[in-house]
Structure 1
Amino acid sequence: MPEPVVFHRIIVRAPSEDTATGWHMVIPPADAFDPAAVRVTPVAEVRPGDMVIGTIQHHYDRLLNPLDRAQWVSYFSHTSKPQAGGARPFDPRHCDLCRHNAEIRASSSGHWTVDGCTTYSPDSLLLVVPRELA
């Protein structure tokens, strides 16, 4: 039996310094990545050599209730580098920052770590340029 394909409802727009709310955002340089190579990837599937260029966030209303199941894209404001290692389960003993995050309960078991000590919830989706396309 074939494996089911999971589709994620995501609102994607080109990187822009201006937002609908008037906020100014820093965006990645124009040549930071090839838009055709970007893939939506679950955090646990990030591999060494992949380039993480942004995150996918839940879309909330003004009372912080999730809106539908839509999500929005947040690009990193810098030129990303290929991952030295793949995603790994969160380990509070990894370093002082990880220990601090565990103490304030910002991260817990089930969370994943990518790119040093950036920690994500287990259901997080990331914008990734796979190593084969970087």
Structure 2
Amino acid sequence: MPELIPFHRVIVRAPSTETASGWRMATPPEGSFDPAAVRITPVAEIRPGDALVGTIQPHYDHQLNPVDRAQWVSYFSHTSRPQAGGARPFNPGHCDWCTHNAYVLGISADSGYWTVDGCTTYRPDMLLLTIPRELTA
């Protein structure tokens, strides 16, 4: 049986201070990463040594329902550093920030959410822009 390859409906463009719709946004510092090294990675597959450079966000309509079209990219506004640890299932008892996220987001340990360094919490279906550890300098 052939191996299935997941395709993600994402349009990745170079960091810019202005979106196609004219919104202003922060961008990473000039030269902070090689665009050719960037990959789209599901949050659960983040490994120690991978560098996160941004997130991929779904489009929503005026009632916050997901819209069926390509997603957009939000780059982090700082130079990314390699992750000390890989992604781990969300644990609200891990630290005060995780406890706060559990309360605010209304999620629990069995919610399927994931956290990465710094206890940033992501939805189970979240895609991140990463530079794999094999390509980080």
TM-score, normalised via structure 1 length? 0.92
**Structure 2 segments unaligned to the other structure (5+ residues):** none
Give the structure 2 partner of residue 129 of structure 1.
131
1:107–1:119: 8 Å Cα contact kept in structure 2?
no
Q: What are the within-5 Å matches in structure 2 for residues 79-90 of structure 1?
A: 79-90=79-90
* SS of equivalent to 1:104: helix
Letter paired with 1:31? G
Moved more, 65-74 or 121-130: 65-74
Aligned residues: 134
Matched with 2:112 is 110
Describe the shift of the 1:100–1:18 C-alpha distance in structure 2 as closer, same or farther (beyond 3 A): same
Q: Give the 3-state SS of the residue equivalent to 1:53 in structure 2.
A: strand
Cα 1:123/1:82, change in 2 over 3 Å: same
2:95 and 2:59 map into 1 onto residues whose CA distance is 31
Aligned-pair Cα RMSD in Å: 1.4
Give the structure with the larger strand fraction.
1
Match of 1:27 in 2: 27
In 1, the alpha carbon distance for the partners of 2:50 and 2:106 equals 25
CA distances 1:97-123 after superposition (whole Å, capped 9, x unpaired): 101111223543210001221000111
* In structure 2, C-alpha distance between the alignment counterparts of 1:50 and 1:68, rounded to whole Å: 29
TM-score where L is the length of structure 2: 0.90
Corresponding residue SS for 1:54:
strand
